[in-house]
Amino acid sequence: MFWNKKKRSQAGKYPYRACNIYISEKHQQILFVPFGRADIGLHIEQENVIVDTWPCKFQDLQTNIEEALNRYQLLVPYDKDNLVWHSFDLSKAKTRHSFEADYISLHLSTDTTKEYGSHEKERIRVSAEPNPPDSTYSLTGCSHLTDTRIAQITLDIYDACVKIRS
């Protein structure tokens, strides 16, 4: 069976990039964790994590987000016997359970849900589930990686997560 597929314009396309941000009021820490893609298609944390104090300056938030996205690697080695959880290792949490309880996790990635216009800037999707593994709430925002829009969306989603958790 043949499918009628439209050719998508490559104008304005951006390569996929992703990172996680972990924020903890309790530990006054924010972690910017770049990802890499392993040859088996899995995305794994990279060791070049950016650590900052929380709350941080608004402009530093935007700068660190951009830097973490820039550190995304297309191909990284994958060793299933030697997986390291870099964000946990650099956090101030004592156990993995306390890490998940004390830190709010936000995922940022290049938006690939719709075609880009010829002069459109890269869109970044910010998403979070405030109470994992409970998926009652799922928060998502999307904007262009210009000025400080992504930093503002990140703060808005973080604030909503704090409200939902309390």
Average confidence (pLDDT) over 149-161:
96
Express each pLDDT in 87-106 by its tens digit.
Answer: 999 999 999 999 999 999 99
Q: Inform me whether the pLDDT recorded for 121 exceeds 80.
A: yes
β-strand pairing of 123-128 with 50-53? unpaired
- What is the pTM for the complete model shown? 0.88
Cβ–Cβ < 8 Å for 137, 34 = no
Express each pLDDT in 53-82 by its tens digit.
Answer: 999 999 999 999 999 999 999 888 877 777
CATH assignment of 18-165, given 3.90.950.20, 3.40.1590.10, 3.90.1660.10, 3.10.28.10?
A: 3.40.1590.10
* pLDDT given at position 10: 45
Non-local (6+) Cβ contacts of 50 within 8 A are 31, 32, 64, 67, 68
* pLDDT given at position 147: 78
Non-local (6+) Cβ contacts of 79 within 8 A are none
149, two tokens? 């829009």
Tokens 């994992």 sit on residue: 132
* pLDDT given at position 2: 52
* pLDDT given at position 78: 77
Cβ–Cβ < 8 Å for 33, 45 = yes
Q: With 0-12 CB in 10 A as exposed, 13-18 as middle and 19+ as buried, what is 78?
A: middle
